[in-house]
Amino acid sequence: MLQSHIIDVDGAFVGAAIRIDRGYRFVATDFRLEDLDSTIWPTLDDLRRVVRRTLADAASGGPISTRNVVTMNRGGIR
């Protein structure tokens, strides 16, 4: 059976880390972490650090993925 670890930030579940032979594969459940989904990290600490930094950047208006952003224009949804 695979070993997994919950990844949470300030009590909010944002994903899971699955132990693999090369480290930990991240499975994101928060859309703001979509770009990190399926990435591999050598340690849980490394993964937790980048998850916190990514969410902090998103909260402060820093760079986040815009792939799933729906925008409105005069003609409707674009």
Query: Which pLDDT score is estimated for 12?
Result: 95
Query: Which pLDDT score is estimated for 63?
Result: 58
Q: What is the dihedral of CA 41, 43, 51, 19, to 10 degrees?
A: 70
Q: Between vectors from CA 70 to CA 65 and to CA 73, what angle results, nearest 5°?
A: 130
**Domain boundaries of the chain, sorted by first residue:** 4-60
What pTM does this model have? 0.75
Tell me the pLDDT tens digit for each residue of 8-58: 999 999 999 999 999 999 999 999 999 999 999 999 999 999 999 999 998
